[in-house]
Amino acid sequence: MRTDILQQAQAIRAATLKAAAHVAGDNDRLGIRVLYPEWTPGAHAVGDLYNAAGQTWECCTAYDNAVYPDIVPGNGAWHTFNRPLHGTAPDTARPFVPPAGAHDMYKAGEYMTLDDRLYRCLMDTVYAPAEYAPAWEAMA
């Protein structure tokens, strides 16, 4: 009986991961963020998804921590190789992460939270609301 339950659980996990691989778009990926692993040091390929520092990230430039040990969450190099996913609905808003460039800028229609407030991006920007208020609308 225990073997049957374990086999069923493994089959469900395999099917879930297979389905998750076909999910496209940041908002949909954020909806299933619990399925992504926590980031660990190692080799990371473009498109890898993982959670770290309260965010869900996508690897946008391949790297290996054995070669580049400074690429870790919280380090400046992190943002060169990884981008945070941005939600396009209030329920998938994640905390604001200052963009490092065009690869992770906020786009019109995306949401984020900052200082316990929800914001909607009105125009593509790399700035926070305090730096360029016209790019953001504070939601009620």
Q: Output Rg (C-alpha) for the chain, integer angstroms.
A: 17
The answer to whether residues 79 and 53 touch, using CB atoms and an 8 Å cutoff, is no
pLDDT mean across residues, the chain = 92
Please write the tens of the pLDDT for every residue from 7-23: 887 877 777 777 667 67
**What pTM did the predictor assign?**
0.83
* 95-134 confidence digits (pLDDT tens): 999 999 898 999 999 999 999 999 999 999 999 999 999 9
Cβ neighbour number for residue 77 with a 10 Å cutoff: 14
Domain boundaries, the chain: 24-138
Q: Does domain 24-138 have CATH number 2.10.10?
A: yes
CB contact set of 70 (below 8 Å; sequence gap of 6+): 77
